[in-house]
Amino acid sequence: MTDRHSPLNAIHVAAGASFTDFAGWQMPVRYSSDLAEHHAVRTAAGIFDLSHMGEIFIVGPEAADALDYALAGKLSATTIGQAKYSLLLDRSGGIIDDVVVYRTGDDRFMVVANASNREVVAAELTDRTAPFECEVFDESDELALVAVQGPRSREILIATDGFAIEGGHPDGRDVGEKLSELKYYRALSGSFRTQPLLIARTGYTGEDGFELYVSPDHAAELWDALTEAGAPLGLVPAGLASRDTLRLEAGMPLYGHELGTETFPVQAGLGRVVVTATKGDFVGREAVEAGPAPDARTLVGLVADGKRAARADYEVFASDDSSEVIGVVTSGALSPTLGIPIAMAYVDAAFASPDTTLSIDIRGKRLSYRVTPLPFYRAKKD
Amino acid sequence: MATESELQYTSEHEWVLVDGNTATVGITAYAAEKLGDVVFVDLPDVGTTLASGSIVGEIESTKSVGELFAPVDGMVLEKNSAVEDTPELVNSDPLGEGWLIRIEFTELPPLLSFDEYTALLGE
């Protein structure tokens, strides 16, 4: 696969970033220290380049009904400016991708897909919405995404000159007020130095934060303005390594780890995302209503003492002296915030209750882990 | 502390400082950079007999696990307990305070010079 570069690539190179291949994209994995970047997001703020994400628009008078059929949630119940976490299921109830859907107009939605699933999501949405009066546009190449995440995010956006909110003062004097009023999982249309922009109060770190969708030609200008205004408030550029430990602490699933076509939503703790009672047919309905097999594994959080972290694909056993495999780790790390090993794993239902002691084979050594409710970390409300 | 050009290297991205029949071992700056922030180091105990090429310890970062290979046959004379308590020394000073173990050996296998190691990185 040809390496794709973000429109912000030159900035990352200049900042001394290390890069990783992510779904065919060369993206910053860290700038200097992934731990420092992680802590900055928990205590001040970090700025992330997420331009590899896919943005697919569904537009037309029947767009809402079309998405009700294509996705697991009831998107027709959203209001303009609302964002909704949802799932694209296959006919067997498995998860093709997890997405965030933004309603940007009466007849207009933006579906944000994982970079690795952009093509399949665009193809499935095109196919599934064909009977409806609407059109599907894959605008992924026309949109960059910059996220500012952390408790000081709002201050940083307010300190950045050049924002204006649609329908507000053109000089942006009301931006502070509008951003402060913006609720979690809500978005505002606006502009940055006359360029159209979508400002969403969403994220994948477990902290307050914003995600800014902008044209690739203006992403660098936006990044620089945010970085300049944010640096005195503690903002640092943050790479995908810290993004992964942040989302893990927040108990958020990652496609390819906790989510996949072999997983039913209910196994991943996402039963609430699937709406069956108040909407009509949708792809995967029959399968999710029948439910997974009775012996299906369920996603749990696990914590341990010490410093040795379980990693994805390590086997989980019933006890330290048992050879009976009862589960598998999907994500794990030494939690930078908590200082203890944390992991998510799929385990047999009999072992999924909180405080159950389990055992993980960590490269030949067994370590006891304890089942704990997710998330591992919750931001303090201010 | 020796300079980069005075050290010898292995293809496993370790450096070796030879003094008489003792070898001090650590990981290279390249390896430390590739690992990311080191959060846990597991080293063999003093007195452990090591076979060249075998895995004798682990260097874990938030993202991945690096293995420590014995670069020579020998016995562990000393391990760097400072690095066990403060794993970030591997990142901040990989060739100095971030050293890992000191081994007593009888025979030194062929190791890479700085130029050879640098050439390996360029491949």
Domains of chain A, CATH where assigned: 4-51+143-248 (3.30.1360.120), 54-122 (3.30.70.1400), 293-382 (2.40.30.110)
CB of A114 within 8 Å of a chain B CB? The answer is no
Instruction: Determine phi and psi for A256, rounding to 5 degrees.
Output: 90, -15
In this predicted model, what pLDDT tens digit does every residue of B24-66 receive, in sequence order? Answer: 999 999 999 999 999 999 999 999 999 999 999 999 998 889 9
Task: Determine the 3-state secondary structure of B93 from DSSP.
Answer: coil
Pick from A29, A36, A334: which is nearest to B39 by CB?
A: A334
Instruction: Determine phi and psi for A357, rounding to 5 degrees.
Output: -90, 125
CB of B37 within 8 Å of a chain A CB? The answer is yes
Name the DSSP letter for residue A280: -
pLDDT category, B1, cuts 50, 70, 90? low
pLDDT above 60: residue A1: no
pLDDT above 90: residue B123: no
The token pair that represents A1 in the structure block: 């696969």
Pick from B36, B40, B64: which is nearest to A307 by CB?
A: B40
Terminal Cα-to-Cα distance of chain B (whole angstroms): 28
Distance in Å, alpha carbon of B21 to nearest chain A alpha carbon: 32
CB of A59 within 8 Å of a chain B CB? The answer is no
Distance in Å, alpha carbon of B18 to nearest chain A alpha carbon: 31
Distance CA A209, CA A224 (A): 18
Instruction: Quote the pTM value.
Output: 0.94
pLDDT category, A4, cuts 50, 70, 90? very high
CB atoms within 10 A of CB A226: 26
Give the closest residue to A108 by CA, choosing from A150, A85, A78, A140: A78
The token pair that represents B18 in the structure block: 């030879």
Name the DSSP letter for residue A75: G
The token pair that represents B102 in the structure block: 């000191």
pLDDT above 90: residue A118: yes
Report the chain A residue with the minimal C-alpha distance to residue B85. Answer: A307
- Helix then strand then coil, in percent of chain A rounded to 5, is 25, 35, 40
Integer-rounded Cα radius of gyration of chain B: 13
Domains of chain B, CATH where assigned: 8-106 (2.40.50.100)
Question: Which ipTM score applies to this complex?
Answer: 0.83
Mutation test of the interface with chain B: which of A308, A331, A340, choosing the one with the most B Cβ atoms within 10 A?
A: A308
pLDDT at A2: 65
Distance in Å, alpha carbon of B40 to nearest chain A alpha carbon: 6
Mutation test of the interface with chain A: which of B55, B63, B68, B88, choosing the one with the most A Cβ atoms within 10 A?
A: B63
Share of chain A above pLDDT 70, in %: 99
- Cβ–Cβ pairs < 8 A, chains A and B: 47
DSSP A199-258: EE---SSSS-EEEEEE-HHHHHHHHHHHHHHHGGGTEEE--HHHHHHHHHHTT---BTTT
Chain B 83-112, residues with CB within 8 Å of chain A CB atoms:
88, 91
